[in-house]
Chains A and B, each alone.
Chain A
Amino acid sequence: ETGVTQSPTHLIKTRGQQVTLRCSSQSGHNTVSWYQQALGQGPQFIFQYYREEENGRGNFPPRFSGLQFPNYSSELNVNALELDDSALYLCASSLLSSSGNTIYFGEGSWLTVV
């Protein structure tokens, strides 16, 4: 049990639509990161939020955006969906600190774009 929950678990969208994926982070964790994992690949870093501000971004276009809320929950929004956006989207939470490190993932949201 990681304490990180994601919703929905599966969804199907049409090309051009918009989608919002949600993540509830482990209590006390002040950073949340989102990853995209295409079939047969390792996860790719999309962006990270720390104290509700974007704190780093991978090689993803601006139509990928996010929010982090004061209760440590988070959203990933993708606009103008493309077929290549079909993937598993993973949320990870961690505590920004200098003492040890643990990064926990949720079970992911499977997105299919048709």
Chain B
Amino acid sequence: AQKITQTQPGMFVQEKEAVTLDCTYDTSDQSYGLFWYKQPSSGEMIFLIYQGSYDEQNATEGRYSLNFQKARKSANLVISASQLGDSAMYFCAMEGLGAGGTSYGKLTFGQGTILTVHP
């Protein structure tokens, strides 16, 4: 069984500042993947970044980076240089991987964090 906890229901950040969204997880799987998605009010779930449990380096994608601390079971998302368009709901999710790191595409999501970027 897997569990994702996002303890920040809402976060506020000034435009051009950096912000960290928290995510902790619990799993009995030896190998797993961690995801962050952005969901604007339209409903589409937009993929941001992925981190495999076997990756030693933190993942980065443009302005997004994932601060992965395996021993603490945390996978925080850092957004640098926030933009007004970053205002949305953000979800942390994970999946257990099969033998050889095989992905089955079954995600467990947290409750989400609403990010508001102020001008």
What is A's interface to B at a CB cutoff of 8 Å? 2, 31, 33, 35, 41-45, 48, 50, 55-56, 88, 90, 92-99, 101-108, 110
> In the assembly, what is the distance between CA of A96 and CA of B97, in Å?
10
How far apart are the CA atoms of A51 and B39 in the complex, in Å?
29
Count A/B pairs, Cβ under 8 Å.
82
Complex Cα–Cα for A94 and B22 (A) = 26
A41 neighbours in B (Cβ, 8 Å): 111-112
Task: Give the interface residue-count category, chain B.
Answer: 20 to 34
Within 8 A of A (CB), among B63-119: 91, 93, 95, 97, 100-112
- Indicate whether B42 reaches chain A with its CB closer than 8 angstroms: yes
> DSSP class of A's interface residues: helix, strand, loop or mixed?
strand
* Pairwise interchain contact A98-B102, C-beta atoms closer than 8 A: yes
Partner of A105, one of B47, B101, B102: B47
